[in-house]
Copies of this chain bind each other. A is one copy, B any other.
């Protein structure tokens, strides 16, 4: 549907006013605030037209208009301008994504930063297709082993195995070899299956030590890979949650695993996805927008970062922030890639 300039301007103003005010926008407000060169009566006619086309809604007859899902969609696709982040925001991002830690740690920092800047909850998952690169086992005391799992995307996980008996170093070395032979290249999400096979296949040779190691790994990997950052104190301040029932609904959505999973699934491959309100399949999400970023380095997806919000959110700032974050990751991994490729070479040498 093509809209003429005046209609576009009006729609855009309604959306932008509503995004900050959270109040239905009336014709008079528009004329006063946005310096439209027509009378309120003309604006009213246009708004009526926009409502008939489904871009605007009226909570009741004596209220102003609010954007419908279709209206937000038109705004996002056609009207919204990208904005430059403020220096304050840029500094905040740069100071709080430190570069310390592994990939997962960096993603967590990013999710936290986004949540703070946008005052919205975020959901994070590291890319499940990440493959296991290498396992190391370090004996940290007589009966305690530290098992270190390194993934190809640069995530390092570790866990502790408690043994019932002491095990000599050479056995540990052998076990490490066995585990690497069987598990290298396995997708992290399928590790527990692969572990079962290892236990079944090799158990006799190495008795229960291997089994104890595998149980520890399984426990570590069974921890939920999805992190939600709820940020309650600030979302309770959003005007949509003046009604506590609405707040409960929203918080419930955040803690409903299925729904969160499905928001992650909906995150389109390739960059940035926006799903607005009833565009979601899930009926519980009809007033919720999902803005997702597939965090990418030069050649890999390393995770999904999702902003979950009431439909009313500053889409423009959200998009700008997420794009900035993604660029930041590309830069962070530019240097590291070099290391990574060296690392692979090194590793083969030391293994061979």
Q: A100-B219, A251-B236 in contact; A140/B144 too (CB < 8 A)?
A: no
- Smallest Cβ-Cβ distance to A336: which chain B residue: B162
Q: Quick check: is A88 within 8 A (CB to CB) of the other chain?
A: no
Residue A177 lies at the interface, judged by CB distance under 8 Å to chain B: no
CA distance A343 to B252 in the complex (A): 46
In A142-175, the 8 Å CB interface with B consists of 142-144, 146, 148, 150, 156, 158-160, 162
Give the chain B neighbours of A347 by CB distance below 8 A: 141
- A 297-352 contacts with B by CB, 8 A: 336, 339, 342-343, 346-347
Q: CB within 8 A of A146: which of B100, B156, B343?
A: B156
**3 closest pairs, A vs B, by CB?**
A141-B343, A100-B219, A142-B346
- Once the chains are docked, how many angstroms separate the CA of A100 from the CA of B336? 33
Residue A101 lies at the interface, judged by CB distance under 8 Å to chain B: yes
Identical chains bound together, number: 2
Which of the candidate stretches A37-45, A190-198, A242-250, A266-274 sits at the interface with the other chain? A242-250
Contact at A144–B244, with CB atoms within 8 Å? no
| Bound complex: CA A152 to CA B149 (Å) | 25
B136 touches A138 (CB 8 A): yes
**Measured between C-beta atoms, what is the minimum distance from A280 to chain B in Å?**
20
Q: Which A residues between 208 and 250 are near B, CB-CB below 8 angstroms? A: 215-216, 219-220, 230, 232-233, 236-237, 241-242, 244, 247-248
Other CB < 8 Å A-B pairs besides A141-B343, A144-B156, 12 of them? Answer: A98-B219, A100-B160, A134-B140, A142-B342, A146-B158, A230-B232, A232-B232, A236-B244, A236-B247, A241-B244, A242-B244, A247-B247
